[in-house]
Structure 1
Amino acid sequence: MYFFDLDGTLLDSNGVWLDIDVEFLGRFGIGSVPEDYTDYVTHHGFDDSARYTRDYFRLPLTPEEIISAWREMARSAYAGQLELKPGARGFLERARASGIPRALLTSCIPSLCSAALEHHCLLPLLDRVFTAAELGLEKRDPELYRLVARLCRLEAGDCVLFDDSPVYCRAAREAGWQVYGVSDPVFDDRAEEMREVCGPGRFPFDLRSPLPLHL
């Protein structure tokens, strides 16, 4: 079964989160976004990232208020502005035509995920949609992938993840999944790490490429 990340894999959306960070932090007089902060929030879910943001910058907001602000800033982009990554729709269509089950596995806020899927009419191309928020686990946690495999009644080796994050790909590999790394500019400086995690011929994987059919 194929599992797809959303942000940076199917959806060209990672850049919008950098813009949101700049705008949101600018409201509090913070003129630049530290690299270590960006690295942390890129690899954590929204609850964790909101708590980290509050503590890192000592903001006078609750994590819930921070998430609400992020969600409001992102809503219009996910509902109509963000484009799919090259080849994303065609890859899903080819997988469906080949009889390969397909699911989304994302750490995106569920409401934003739904908005993007509806805008691009992707729901008919997916058999399941899993969000880290609804599962109660981080995508950096190998247990999330074990749980999803159980929910789909699959052996770990029959699960194939397409993701742009080396952290998430590593977690999936630790759970016994196969992984393919989709290139995204936000992780350009970690290309060697991604090659090591994914293995020969699996990074960078272009969604316009032929389907991996060796399941």
Structure 2
Amino acid sequence: MLEEIDSIIFDVDGTLLDSMWIWPSIDDDYLEKYHLTKPERFHENMEGMSYTEAAHYFLEVFPDLPFTPQEVMEEWMEMVYDKYMTQVELKTGAREFIERMRDQGKTIGIATSNARELVLDTLESLGIRHLFDSVHSACEVEAGKPSPAVYLLVAEDLGVDPSRCLVFEDVPMGILAGKNAGMRVCAVEDAFSSPQVQKKRELADYYIQDYTEIEKRTYEVL
């Protein structure tokens, strides 16, 4: 998995952090607050969207909401911030894996669909901000995942050819984003995306239950 790799790039929610459980409850609380009914395939339709794109999507689905996208994002941030600061944890083995990769001279980046400021604050609260050489959000590029744009931005920032990057992702749209960027991709087990596990296996190059498998070399080559 790590042969001919110079940089490791992580998605955040569900990949680096055990945090996907937060968002369905936040969406439900938000919808209940404004007396809105969730349509079918609501969360599935948002998969891969940037934080900004998701806010625009909300206003398209619920045009009677009297808010701007910026106001929607600010309210979401108020709802999730404390949970990220106090309840979110790293995926098993993630910190040790990152430290080992840095010791081997590999650069480490993040390409997230979440808000960059929330990710940076969460990394600080976990005491790991210093481990990352580049952190970018899909809000900074023209389109969210499966567009490769955010992964290519991180690769450019790290000064590495995309073909020398290994991506870790937890959902199909993210896996496709990494593959569309010309990178190798390892899918990561996460409870939130468990209904999509077969699709994840079909799209990714590798599959892990957690990061301890990499050192043990028990991961699946797909």
Give the TM-score of the pair, scaled to structure 2: 0.87
Partner of 2:127: 121
Q: Which residue of 2 aligns with 1:43?
A: 48
Matched to 1:165, the amino acid is V
**What is residue 56 of structure 1 aligned with on the other side?**
61
Q: Distance in 1 between matches of 2:54 and 2:106?
A: 34
Match of 2:187 in 1: 181
Q: Which residue of 2 aligns with 1:28?
A: 34
TM-score by length of 1: 0.89
Provide the rounded CA distance (Å) in 1 between the counterparts of 2:71 and 2:129.
30
Q: How does 1:8-157 map to 2 (within 5 A)?
A: 8-30=14-36, 33-58=38-63, 59-157=65-163
Cα distance in 1 for partners of 2:140, 2:181 equals 20
- How many equivalent residue pairs? 209
One-letter amino acid matched to 1:208: T
Task: Choose from 204, 207, 218 the match for 1:203.
Answer: 207
* CA distance in 2 between partners of 1:44 and 1:113 (Å): 16
How far apart are residue 46 of structure 1 and its match? 1.7
1:26/1:46 CA distance change after superposition, 3 Å: same
Which of 10, 15, 21 is the aligned partner of 1:4? 10
Q: What CA distance in whole angstroms lies between the structure 2 residues aligned with 1:119 and 1:125?
A: 13
Alignment-derived partner of residue 178 in structure 2: 172
Residues 180 and 205, structure 1, Cα contact 8 Å, conserved in 2: no
> 2:58 is matched by which residue type in structure 1?
T
Over aligned residues, Cα RMSD in angstroms? 1.8
- Preserved CA contact (<8 Å) 1:163 1:179: yes
Change beyond 3 A, Cα 1:2–1:93: same
Question: Structure 1 residues 167 and 101, CA, compared in 2 at 3 Å: closer, same or farther?
Answer: same
What is the rounded CA distance, in whole Å, between the counterparts of 1:177 and 1:24 in structure 2? 36
Which deviates the most, 55-64 or 19-28? Answer: 55-64
| Aligned residues of 2:50 and 2:114 also touching (Cα < 8 A) | yes
For the residue of structure 1 that corresponds to 2:35, the secondary structure is coil
Percent identity of equivalent pairs: 33
User: What do the CA deviations read for 1:16-70 (whole angstroms, capped 9, x no partner)?
Assistant: 0111001010011236x44411112232012211111112123222212111110
Amino acid at match of 2:93: G
Question: Larger deviation: 128-137 or 13-22?
Answer: 128-137
Structure 1 or 2: larger strand share? 2
Contact 1:45 1:132 in 2 (8 A): yes
1:101 and 1:150 map into 2 onto residues whose CA distance is: 12
CA contact 2:12–2:111 (8 Å) conserved in 1? yes
